[in-house]
Amino acid sequence: MNRRQFFAAGGLAATAQAMSAQGRPAHSADEPQFKTVNLQADGLALNPREYVALLGKLVEERPPQPDYYSTGGAVEELEHKFAQLLGKEAAIFLPTGTLANHLAVRKLAGADHRVLVPAQSHLYNDSGDCAQTLSGLNLIPLAPGESTFDVAEVRSWVERSAAGRVATPVGAIVIESPVRRKDHEMFDPGAMEQISSYARQRGIRLHLDGARMFTLPYHSGKSVRDYAALFDTVYVSLWKHFNGASGAILAGTDGFIQGLFHTRRMFGGSLPQAWPEIALIAQSADRFEDDYARAWKSANELIALFESDRRFKVRKLAGGTSRFFLTVQGTAPAALIERLSQKSVVLSQPQPDTGMIPVQVNPTLLRTTPAALFRTIVSSL
């Protein structure tokens, strides 16, 4: 089906239905569009009507070229764009980050099936053991409970693996940063550099799960290219920050990426038409880092207002990125969250153990002013 057929067949309505079926909140027809301040999301969390409106506008102004089984057209353009943004020779589109991480470690490890991974990582916890089950890899979890592991821990596993009765060399090492299960804290950049140079000396391949890595430059002063240069392969999510309906980029050398589309198809990961999923991403990627910096400027003004009022307490994380925590005194958080949702402000539920509300900084903060948002929150206490 081409673009025209897609519209004629009511494909937009189908897209809209599919998106609300993913567990995002249902949106009523009279809800104001592009107004919600969503302090739970990584990006704009477009609702189906917003997504369709932006897609329709784009199709009128700069029609995306359809792809075929995720090759050519808009997909190929996006692959080139991200290879360039990341300073890598080549990139491949994959329908999910779960598959991107899996295909990366599968190919990097090759015949050396032992792979060192962060115990807190998505690959180790949230991927259904795909790498173990489908690719026969042995994942060794490092630094349970921590955002970072150091080169000494890596070295000790590499040496232990080399010294076993049966040679079982480490084939690859994975790092995730920011770390989703640690409230988006950064993996320590110094430790990352040391691990990278050790891995290179030993000929061990290195993969970065950088699903949300475009927030790192603002917090660390290092560019996404600086980070990517330390790794053989890098995965970036296309739907978390960049408003895709889904998708992931895996970038590396020409030699690594070449031919990977066969493996993508083998795993059932070549969408026959990916363009509706990815059409909005290029524009969003171009502006994300600027928008994110402006969103933090706004967040810091909001935090100053919270700190001037005794009913609120704010906690930031050392080494944190996109999240801070808010504690509210004298109001049940659940009631506040419900009242705010009526005013197009979305907040996460508080953590059960601490009562702190995680607040996610993203460009939806730019849809209002810090003072207006503070007034809305205070009037909902």
Ligand X SMILES: Cc1ncc(COP(=O)(O)O)c(C=O)c1O
Q: Which residues bind ligand X (CB under 6 A)?
A: 96-98, 101, 122, 176, 180, 209, 211, 237, 248
Please, what is the minimum distance in Å from the beta carbon of residue 141 to ligand X? 15
Please, what is the minimum distance in Å from the beta carbon of residue 76 to ligand X? 20
Residue of minimal Cβ distance to ligand X: 97
Closest CA to 105 of 129, 126, 131: 131
| Closer of 184 and 205 to ligand X (Cβ) | 184
Please, what is the minimum distance in Å from the beta carbon of residue 7 to ligand X? 26
Q: Which whole-number Å values give the CA distances from 131 to 6, 99, 117, 120, 291, in the listed order?
A: 35, 9, 11, 16, 35
| Closer of 97 and 358 to ligand X (Cβ) | 97
| Closer of 180 and 205 to ligand X (Cβ) | 180
- Give the long-range contacts of residues 22-26, CB within 8 A, separation 24 or more: 25/346
**If you search the block for the tokens 């730019």, which residue do you land on?**
366
How many angstroms separate the CA atoms of 164 and 162, rounded?
6
Closest CA to 92 of 236, 281, 229: 236
C-beta atoms surrounding 228 within 10 Å: 22
Please, what is the minimum distance in Å from the beta carbon of residue 83 to ligand X? 19
| Closer of 47 and 98 to ligand X (Cβ) | 98
| Closer of 126 and 307 to ligand X (Cβ) | 126
Please, what is the minimum distance in Å from the beta carbon of residue 237 to ligand X? 6
| Closer of 36 and 322 to ligand X (Cβ) | 322
Please, what is the minimum distance in Å from the beta carbon of residue 247 to ligand X? 7
C-beta atoms surrounding 332 within 10 Å: 11
Please, what is the minimum distance in Å from the beta carbon of residue 205 to ligand X? 18
Residues 6+ apart with CB under 8 A from 91: 79, 80, 82, 83, 249, 250, 251, 252, 257
| Closer of 79 and 176 to ligand X (Cβ) | 176
**N-terminal to C-terminal alpha carbon distance within the chain:** 51
The SS3 assignment for 201 reads helix
How do 312-316 and 357-360 pair as beta strands?
unpaired
